[in-house]
Amino acid sequence: DGGITQSPKYLFRKEGQNVTLSCEQNLNHDAMYWYRQDPGQGLRLIYYSQIVNDFQKGDIAEGYSVSREKKESFPLTVTSAQKNPTAFYLCASSNPTGFSNQPQHFGDGTRLSIL
């Protein structure tokens, strides 16, 4: 079945360590997104990419980095510069086609905690 796979489901980070969250989609979507979710905060956009080899900062990009080398993959690195990384991270994809309906489809998330 087509969908979005995020891995791992749980991840622990030590102080000063970079960690990478994986996001893979087989929906043939052009656009992919990373969100951070904290309790009561809703979803905040970290980075998004509309095509391969291109990406834009969202509202809270500091301390994070991404790459988009393949259409189906959009990994997120949480760097040591992100001082409060504990959160639930959600990846999404969509196929923007001008003015037609373009809902985002989500993975099941990765929960990142600090050791």
Residues that bind another protein in the complex, under the rule CB under 8 A: 4, 6, 30-31, 33, 40-43, 45, 48, 50, 90, 92, 94-96, 98-99, 101-109, 111
| Complex with another protein: residue 50 or 65, whichever CB lies closer | 50
Give least dist CB 104 to another protein, A. 6
Give least dist CB 15 to another protein, A. 26
Q: What residues are paired with 50 via a beta bridge?
A: none
| Complex with another protein: residue 82 or 94, whichever CB lies closer | 94
For 22, half-sphere exposure in the C-beta direction (CA atoms, 13 angstrom radius) is 8
| Complex with another protein: residue 53 or 101, whichever CB lies closer | 101
Give least dist CB 66 to another protein, A. 15
Q: What residues are paired with 7 via a beta bridge?
A: 22
DSSP string, 16-73: T--EEEEEEE-S--SEEEEEEEETTTEEEEEEEEEETTEEEE-SS-TTEEE--SBTTB
Give least dist CB 113 to another protein, A. 14
Q: Which of 87, 88, 66 is nearest to 77 (CA)?
A: 66
| Complex with another protein: residue 48 or 64, whichever CB lies closer | 48
